Amino acid sequence: MTTSAQITKETAETIARFNDAFQRRDRAALAAVVHEDCLMVSAQPAPDGTAYMGKDACVAFWAELMDDASTTFEVQHVFTAGDWAAVRWRYRFGPTDAESVLGVNVSRVSGGRVIEQLGYTKTPLQVLPLPE
């Protein structure tokens, strides 16, 4: 019988492998931890992002981010419970914090592979003019 603690440990290990592969820009290592039935929903465009279904589509989306050598992905904190994980991160596209975005990925792991990942980012709010 698999315990909750064992599931949480497997989730933490899987997410660590995913993040490591992403930071090293290793497409093959990343693909190895993505489930065939993966669903990934990107943070943009607002308000709902874009859904990518299946391993090939998800890996292709992440590969585009990894291929941009001018960017970096910094993991700030990882929390796991059962088959779920929350990863707080900063994605940099320049040297200053003003040239970056903070975000969170909420991920689910199944069988040692990422099967679901939902991306959320902090972006400036648009202030709409009040009606007259």
Query: Residue 45 sits in a domain of what CATH number?
Result: 3.10.450.50
Domain assignment of residue 29, yes or no: yes
Which residues are within 8 A (CB) of 126 and not within 5 positions of it... i.e. 6 or more apart?
Answer: none
pLDDT at position 125: 53
State the pLDDT confidence band at 122, using cuts at 50, 70 and 90: confident
Tell whether 128 is covered by a domain: no
Q: What's the distance, CA 18 to chain centroid?
A: 9
Residue-level pLDDT at 44: 87
In a domain, 44, yes or no: yes
Question: How confident is the model at residue 71, as a pLDDT?
Answer: 93
pLDDT tens per residue across span 69-94:
999 999 999 999 999 999 999 999 99
Residue 126 lies in a domain: no
Host domain of residue 102: 4-121
How many domains, in total, are found in the chain? 1
Q: Is the pLDDT of residue 25 over 80?
A: yes
129 domain residue, yes or no: no
